[in-house]
Structure 1
Amino acid sequence: MEALEKSREHVIGLFRVVVGLLFACHGAATLFGVLGGPQGAKPDVAAWPGWWAAVVQLLGGALVLCGLATRAAALLCSGSMAYAYFVEHQPEALFPLQNGGEAAAMFCWSFLLIAALGPGRWTLPSLARLRRRPGTRPITRTSSTSSL
């Protein structure tokens, strides 16, 4: 159990990366017809809710993947999947296996977990901090006046 606790932040980070990547892929497939294309008809630009859901999937998934504004992005993604489940799937049948809403339910709860636990390791901001060497100051540009 101690080894699991020591790897907690790494596992959370990997979970965040995988979930964010998969979610962003759904958005890219819907918006751009890549990775097998949209599951269903491609929505018209700005059409509610399909096009906006795809934008949330692509941008929200990318933010979560990179660890940028992770908690807020994950909460937005979780809410969008709760909406998808209850509005699009649940009216068909009560249980996800019956109504085709397994992915929406899993993404909803996965993003809620990420929002609650935070980003874990390997976020872009933490990687940028690692690149700076201890004892050195970041390079900043200043305007200087020089005479010739």
Structure 2
Amino acid sequence: MDQFDKLLAKWQPQALSLFRFITGLLLFQYGVAKILGFPVVPMFAKIPPLIVVAGTIELVLGALLMIGLFTRLSAFILSGQMAFAYFIGHMFKTPAAPVFHPILNGGTASILFCFACLYLATAGGGPISADAMMRKK
């Protein structure tokens, strides 16, 4: 098992960069759907001001995560936004009867994004990122 751990540990830095890119890409797609309307998502059809703000944050900071620029700050802000999204958009969707269980309120993605971004805020962007290139100069 020790050899297997060493084999996988060798690729950890590259895996972190890939994880950062994919997390940013997935958040970016939510921003594109909310702001640009592509693809058309029925639940984003009515765009209240809070959705516009959330979509703008996801669009801009998701793009920054993809390229790995200001990774820690972007990920920290996105982590907070995803926590906010879970409580406001999922758990307390109906204030009279809050539903805590993510599988029932549709908040699973928000929780995963919250903790993925929290991890990225602490781990950084990895070796394949704009942040890493700027540090080398």
Q: Shared topology, TM-score over 0.5?
A: yes
- Describe the superposition over 1:27-80 as per-residue Cα deviations: whole angstroms up to 9, x where unpaired: 011101113346332426xx2x11100001001101111100000000000100
SS at match of 1:94: coil
| In structure 2, distance between residues paired with 1:128 and 1:40 | 37
How much identity, in percent, do the aligned residues show? Answer: 34
Q: Who is 2:31 aligned against?
A: 27
1:102 maps to which residue? 108
Gap runs ≥5 in structure 2: 93-97
Provide the C-alpha distance between the structure 2 equivalents of 1:101 and 1:64, rounded to a whole number of angstroms: 22
Code of the aligned partner of 2:104: Q
Residue of structure 2 aligned with 1:2, choices 2, 6, 10: 6
Indicate how the Cα distance of structure 1 residues 88 and 68 shifts in structure 2: closer, same or farther if over 3 A, else same.
same
Deviations 1:90-130 (CA, angstroms, capped at 9, x unpaired): 12411100111111111111101111111112113545789
Q: How many residues are paired up? A: 128
Larger helix percent: 2
- Work out whether 1:60 is the aligned partner of 2:64: no
Taking structure 1 as the reference length, what is the TM-score of the superposition?
A: 0.78
Q: Which has the larger radius of gyration?
A: 1
Q: State the alpha-carbon separation in 2 of the partners of residues 72 and 124 from structure 1.
A: 14
- TM (norm. structure 2) is 0.84
- What secondary structure, in the 3-state scheme, does the structure 1 residue paired with 2:86 have? helix
| Structure-2 separation of matches of 1:38 and 1:61 | 22
Q: Are 1:120 and 2:121 counterparts?
A: no
Give the secondary structure class of the aligned counterpart of 2:23: helix
SS in 2 for 1:39: helix
Q: RMSD over aligned Cα, in angstroms? A: 2.0
Q: Which runs of 4+ in 1 moved over 6 A?
A: none
What is the rounded CA distance, in whole Å, between the counterparts of 1:77 and 1:84 in structure 2?
Answer: 10
The AA in structure 2 aligned to 1:111 is C
Give, in angstroms, the shift of residue 88 of structure 1.
1.6
